[in-house]
Amino acid sequence: MEASPTPFERSTTASTAATNTAAGPTDGAPSNRKALTIGAVAKILGREFEDLSISKIRYLEDQKLLSPRRTPGGYRLYSQADVERLRTILRMQRDEFLPLRVIRQELAAGAREERGEAASLRRAASVDAGKGTRLTLQELVDDTGVGAELIKDLEDWRLVQPGKIDGTKVYDDTDREIVKACSELARFGVSGRNLKVLRTAADREAVLLEAVVGPGLRSPNHNVRQEAIENLESLAAACSNLTHMLLVRDLRKLTGED
């Protein structure tokens, strides 16, 4: 007759089972779940994010940005999707300086309307206006949640430049993204008047790029003009990246990181 396991043996067996669930099978076969403990996640992502700690991961969980499943014993188990979500959050913090509130919004928006939003952003950033979206003032207010008074202020300072269709003022995808960005800045007391310096800088960049590709843009030859538009897109992206890097370098001086 086989002896019953002692309480210690039962405890050891349960602990081993929980460990195997997190780490995967011990016979070398790949795990379908690929679940990781919080310590394993911190170690893996710590290679890219040196300041990552278990306490920081727990904090992000408390902020409802992460929702790992738990074992009956209360241990956190992170799926590959959880790890990639955490990686995205950490990159948004490090590379884009986004606060958690904005990161939560970005993640939520991406889950619901990733394709449509991506297409809208591509149109907004394109130098070739094309058709795209056309919004009335009320539609823009409803879409962005920004008040008409702020939009009017942005128009007065030439940050938003609506067109007209049949006498009605309309806003395109670029106007919408500008309004969103300015709304975020307005939360910190930055008004259209303060943003005039950015408008002036953009005007100067446009003059610079026109000097480079202007002749091609004015060409009657369709192929030449199309090539000039593509070159303008590339130059605009290069200027945007350069401007951002120069800003980052100056911001490092403010934080003492330079």
Summarize pLDDT for 83-110 with one digit per residue, the tens.
Answer: 889 988 998 888 878 888 888 888 887 6
Tokens of 52: 């990552």
28-32, 70-74, 114-118, 192-196: the lowest-pLDDT one: 28-32
In the DSSP assignment, the letter for residue 133 is: -
pLDDT at 98: 83
| pLDDT attached to residue 95 | 81
Question: pLDDT band at residue 124, thresholds of 50, 70 and 90?
Answer: low
Question: Is residue 8 pLDDT above 80, yes or no?
Answer: no
Categorize the per-residue pLDDT at 147 as very low, low, confident or very high, splitting at 50, 70 and 90: very high
What's the pLDDT score for residue 186?
94
User: Residues 9-24, buried b or exposed e (16+ Cβ, 10 A)?
Assistant: eeeeeeeeebeebbeb
Query: Of the ranges 48-52, 56-60, 204-208, 253-257, which one carries the lowest mean pLDDT score?
Result: 253-257
164 vs 167: CA distance, rounded Å: 6
> For residue 152, is pLDDT > 90?
yes
Positions of E strands within 50-102: 69-70, 76-77
Which parts of the chain are beta strand (E)? Answer: 69-70, 76-77, 163-165, 168-170
pTM: 0.53
pLDDT exceeds cutoff 60 at 212: yes
217 pLDDT higher than 80 = yes
CATH code, residues 115-192:
1.10.1660.10
Distance, CA of 124 to chain centre: 16
pLDDT at position 237, please? 87
pLDDT at position 122, please?
58
Which segment, 13-22, 109-118, 159-168, is predicted with the most confidence on average? 159-168
Mean pLDDT of 38-59: 91
| Domains 32-96 and 115-192 in one fold | yes
- Mean pLDDT over all residues of the chain? 81
pLDDT at position 50 is 87
Number of H helices, E strands in the chain: 10, 4
The per-residue pLDDT for 19 is 44
Q: What is the mean pLDDT of residues 202-231?
A: 94
pLDDT score of 113: 43
> What's the confidence (pLDDT) of residue 131?
52
pLDDT at 120: 58
Q: Quick check: 24 pLDDT over 60?
A: no
- Domain ranges for the chain: 32-96, 115-192, 195-258
What's the half-sphere exposure (Cβ side, CA atoms, 13 Å) at 191? 7
Which CATH class for the 32-96 domain? mainly alpha
Decide: 155 and 162 in contact? Cβ < 8 Å. yes
pLDDT digits over 180-195, tens only? 999 999 999 999 999 9
